[in-house]
């Protein structure tokens, strides 16, 4: 099912999802895995890239969650096909990016560095 933000007070057609962040407590296993992998840099900021919607606005939390789920589903079911889609697509978008409607772009700092590197001397 898709989670919606309720648009009106009286409407019951939408299903809202609420996460109580203060009540979350990581399990012992989660803490152990986090400590074991604390040295891994797995952040998009480390690579100077951003995920945006296809029309250019920044990605929001629900889109990121849906993107992660679609990524794992497509990777688990269609792994060779996903690689072929990336290689033969002129925009180099993966299948899960096309399905969700996202684009991965260079951020402003990386774009400026790449443009400076391309300029003739």
Q: Tell me: the pLDDT tens digits for 36-92?
A: 887 776 655 667 778 888 888 888 888 888 988 988 888 888 877 877 888 888 888
Nearest to 75 by CA among 51, 102, 94: 94
User: How far is it, in rounded angstroms, from Cα 66 to Cα 56?
Assistant: 18
Residue 20: φ, ψ to 5°: -90, 95
pLDDT-derived band at 15, boundaries 50, 70, 90: low
Mean pLDDT score of the chain: 78
Asked if 106 contacts 51 with a C-beta cutoff of 8 angstroms, the reply is no
pLDDT for the residue 1 = 42
| Through-space distance between the first and last CA atoms of the chain, rounded to whole angstroms | 55
Whole-number pLDDT of residue 45: 60
Report the DSSP beta bridge partners of residue 12: none
User: Please, which pLDDT band fits residue 18 given cuts at 50, 70 and 90?
Assistant: low
């Amino acid at each position: 099912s898709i989670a919606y933000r309720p648009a009106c007070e009286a409407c019951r057609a939408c299903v809202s999802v609420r996460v109580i962040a203060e009540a979350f407590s990581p399990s012992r296993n989660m803490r152990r895995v986090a400590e074991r992998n604390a040295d891994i840099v797995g952040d998009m900021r480390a690579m100077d890239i951003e995920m945006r919607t296809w029309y250019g606005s920044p990605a929001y939390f629900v889109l990121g969650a849906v993107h992660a789920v679609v990524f794992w589903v497509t990777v688990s079911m269609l792994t060779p096909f996903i690689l072929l889609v990336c290689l033969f697509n002129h925009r180099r978008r993966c299948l899960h990016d096309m399905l969700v409607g996202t684009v991965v772009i260079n951020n402003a700092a990386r774009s400026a560095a790449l443009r400076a590197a391309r300029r003739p001397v």
